[in-house]
Structure 1
Amino acid sequence: MIDVSIAAAGFCLLILMMALGFHVAVAMFAISIAGAVGYLGVPAALEYGTQLWGAGNNFVLTAIPLFVLLGEILVRGGFTDKMYRSLADWLYWLPGGLLHTNIVASGMLAAVSGSSVATAATIGTIAIPALEHRKYDQRMVLGSIAAGATLGILIPPSINLILYGAMTGNSVGKLYLAGIIPGILLALLFMGVIVVWGLRSPGMGSEAETVDPLGVRLRRLKDLLPPVVIFTLVMGSIYLGWATPTESAALAVVGAFALTALAGRLSFKMLHECFERTILITAMILLITSAAFYLTFVLGLMGVPEIMADFVTRLNASPSSLILALTIFYLILGCFFDALAMIVGTIPIVYPMTMAVGIDPIWFGIFLVLMAELALITPPMGMNLYVVQGVRKEGSISTVIVGTLPFLVVMLLFIVLVFAFPLLVTWLPEVAF
């Protein structure tokens, strides 16, 4: 068994390689090979093929390409534009006006796509042109889109929760349930930020809104049905015991195909674009995942989980002190790495430490995803900041960054709230299971 200082040095080297611009999968693979050859011998290094095969045939991970495909179908099927319009019919009167539509639409799209980046790009494409001629504060428009899109990795079905469940052996179904209440509460808090901003700037969005007759708005409510139907298919099939998370993803894809066909949007060109994009995203995710699985395998043979757990135990660290340290650690890490890199790169080291002090694994999964959400809007490397700026195609990214700061503060306060009241996360899974 190696010394804890060697494990720490290896972890620091991994972080340094990623900070220097190495691809996440390359950095993890290089550290794994170095550890395998240096401490275990060449046979351990040759096990990468087995680990790659195992990751590719992991039944839980099969859900990832299905959920990616689901999001692509819904976006390219034109459902998001109509959904946004229908939500705007009912949210325009709140302080902050149509900015609330950015949050609610992001939450609904997140609930069927599982991707924050896709949500930011889609809602940004719709919202920015729709609001640019009104007198909305540009910072708040951009900030609400970037922040609202972070809900994509928390509200189920979340690809990041699937990865966490697969890497730690926890139930994806429980993780999905655990993400519902925090996801809804965080969306409401984001809307609260907009209300405060709207009350402070009463002239914001003062451009007269054309309000359609009640009958027209009621008829347009049908445009909210596609995401609701898909979410019900996913969550309902899981918790009624009809399907596993992977099987529910397949059901949702079939449902999305049917809805697209009924809407008259299904075509070979659209399918080709969906499949091509799904392959690209899935290949990237599974490459990183296979490297993470191999890193976990090598660390396990070297006894790193045991020595890290023993180290934390000997420090007599309390759960609160460890979470505080991890919060600071992930805040710093989020300034330089994307959400996926943070999750898969740190789980092999951090997870055993949290288990050693008795932290609930389901709660920790939601905590980790919340910290990854922060990383998506934390400068200078927040992915959502660049996606929104890319959609905007003008001005400086500093405007986007300033607009996200109020939401960043609210997310930090929400993490404190989740730590103070862990039942916000654990209550629903405990009741359901």
Structure 2
Amino acid sequence: MDPIVVSSLVLAGLLLFLLASGVWVALALLTVGMVMMGLFTTAPMGSLVASTLWDSSWGWALTSLPLFIWMGEILFRSKLSSDMFQGLAPWVSRLPGRLLHVNVLGCGIMAAVAGSSAVTCATIGRMSVPELERRKYPLNMTIGTLAGSGTLGLLIPPSIIMIVYGVTAEVSISRLFVAGVVPGLLLMALFMGYTAIWSLLNPDKMPPADPPIPFREMIYRSRRLIPVALLIGSVIGSIYGGIATPTEAATIGVVGALVLAVIGGGFGRESFMESLMAAVRTSCMISFIIACAACLTIAVAFVDIPRSLAGWVAAMRLSPYALLAVLAVFMLILGCFLEGISIIVLTSSVMLPMVQAAGIDLLWFGIFVVVLIEAAQITPPVGFNLFVLQSITGKDILAVTKAAIPYFFVLMLLLVLITVFPQIVTGLPKMMSG
């Protein structure tokens, strides 16, 4: 049998065994990488692993990662989310679906300052679920809008997943952030569109409308959105305006989030330490996965699997669309068992050479991957947003999953749209670079 086939089978089998047995993802990746080097190469495994772990742990692009995570943790523990509900509610009360749209808009706003899907979903869900339940909104739609819109934390910049992809694929993180804006806004519009259509088709399941609010009162209540708008403007505007790098913008965001949290009240020393420790734990987990995945990438490269697979795909003469369809199915299957960062670092060494060989733009492919990972956030059994909403609502995982299914298909619709019309992704980066 071909040595490449043997090594690929050993890689896949051992990795699946370790992941199924509950071993940490990072340790599973490191173990498989060392086994691959030990069995199929003559490379000096010890020195290679040590140097790779070191080289992959100090990249400057990764410095923005813990800062954006910390910013999201600060906002998660502040009163800004409840202020957003009060500020957004009057503007959507006359739309079909009414206050359900607060979930979509609130998640979109939180995504622009948090960068994490789980933080976005938990922050808005903790605020909106009790309020919508009190007003007798259908719980399945409350859960569905939160499950779908919570994934906006991955697509609307600053996005932690985009940072990881940018580092892995050596694509500009700033350009990835810019590329995610239009698809993110389009996804919000699609979520709101589906919610409006559902409410029009099921008027008997919607609660009575609230009394209309005078326009002046709507403007007055909107003052609560000003702090969040300023924070978004300072973080995203500094990146898009070329004033700051993503790392510098993340620093601005942390300082701004701390100031707003303290001014808003309820954010003391205990909340500060909780946010800091949570950010440290998450950052260390992500960095450990990235470093260990780099070792597997080196091992796979030494065995020559990426080039062989790329040649195999080229020999099949798959069209770019067919290749994307195969990769999409592959990543959705992985998304049932792994979280997004693990998927990117695990598959990049194999997928990226194939994508490049097919002539697909790596910037566009980054957004394609992010949308797929968004879908993975709401697919069982390892859908993080599903677990978050299960803990908030107290419903079983099957009920939460059922409520999220329509929004999974909305994400698939976005995937089709950006594939057929790639300008949705590439248009804004080209405009800003030109």
Tell me the TM-score normalized by structure 2: 0.94
- Structure 1 residue 334: Cα displacement: 2.1
8 Å CA contact 2:19–2:28 kept in 1: the answer is yes
- Amino acid of the structure 1 residue aligned with 2:411: M
The more displaced of 235-244 and 351-360 is 235-244
Aligned partner of 1:189 in structure 2 is 190
Instruction: Decide whether the 8 Å contact of 1:97 with 1:205 is kept in 2.
Output: no
CA distance in 2, matches of 1:12, 1:408: 29
**Structure 2 Cα separation of the partners of residues 366 and 209 of structure 1:** 39
Q: Could you say which residue in structure 2 is the equivalent of 1:414?
A: 414
Structure 1, unmatched stretches of 5+, are none
1:148 aligns with 149
| Counterpart for residue 115 of structure 1 | 116
- Name the amino acid aligned to 1:87: L
Cα contact 1:304–1:349 (8 A) shared by 2: yes
Q: CA distance change for structure 1 residues 266 and 134 in 2, over 3 Å: closer, same or farther?
A: closer
Deviations 1:46-92 (A, max 9, x none): 33232222232111111110001111112222111101221112112
* Match of residue 397 from structure 1: 397
Please show how residues 194-213 of structure 1 align to structure 2 within 5 Å.
194-209=195-210, 213=214
C-alpha displacement of 1:259: 2.4
Deviation, 1:304, is: 2.8
Instruction: Quote the offset at 1:201 in angstroms.
Output: 1.4
Match of 2:53 in 1: 52
| CA–CA distance in structure 1, aligned partners of residues 266 and 117 of structure 2 | 24
Alignment of 1:30-429 (within 5 A): 30-41=31-42, 43-209=44-210, 213-393=214-394, 395-429=395-429
CA distance in 2 between partners of 1:89 and 1:354 (Å) = 46
Letter aligned with residue 158 of structure 1 = S
In structure 2, do the counterparts of structure 1 residues 113 and 38 end up closer, same or farther at CA, with 3 Å as the change threshold? same
Determine the C-alpha separation between the residues in 1 that align with 2:224 and 2:367.
31
Aligned residues: 432
- The Cα shift of 1:118 comes to 1.0
TM-score if structure 1 supplies the norm length?
0.94
Q: 1:13 to 1:421 in 2, by over 3 A?
A: farther
CA distance in structure 2 between the partners assigned to 1:386 and 1:192 by the alignment: 25
Structure 1 contact 96–204 (Cα < 8 Å) conserved:
no
Distance 1:313 1:18 in 2: 30
Cα gap change, 1:226 to 1:9, in 2 (>3 Å): farther
Residue 13 of structure 1: CA displacement?
3.6
CA contact 2:179–2:428 (8 Å) conserved in 1: yes
CA contact (8 A) 1:44 1:298 kept: no
Tell me by how many angstroms 1:152 deviates.
0.6
Deviation of 1:332 after TM superposition, in Å, equals 2.0
Q: Which amino acid aligns with 1:320?
A: Y
* Structure 1 residues 15 and 107: CA distance shift in structure 2, 3 A: farther
Q: Are the aligned partners of 2:30 and 2:292 in contact in 1 as well (CA < 8 Å)?
A: yes
Instruction: For 2:212 and 2:77, locate their aligned partners in 1 and report how far apart those are by CA, in whole Å.
Output: 27
Mapped to 2, the partners of 1:13 and 1:420 lie a distance apart of 37
Q: Which residue of 1 aligns with 2:29?
A: 28
**What amino acid is aligned across from residue 426 of structure 1 in structure 2?**
T
**Partner Cα distance (1:73, 1:235) in 2:** 18
Shift of 1:195: 0.5
CA distance in 2: counterparts of 1:399 and 1:82, whole angstroms: 29
Contact residue 115 and residue 159 of structure 1 kept, 8 A: yes
Supply the AA of the counterpart residue of 1:217.
M
Identical-residue share of aligned pairs (%): 38
Distance 1:271 1:370 in 2: 32
Instruction: Note the C-alpha offset of 1:159.
Output: 0.3
Counterpart amino acid of residue 90 in structure 1: W
Opposite residue 250 of structure 1, the aligned amino acid is T
CA distance in 2, matches of 1:169, 1:397: 37
Residue 230 of structure 1: CA displacement? 2.2
Structure 1 counterpart SS, 2:95: coil
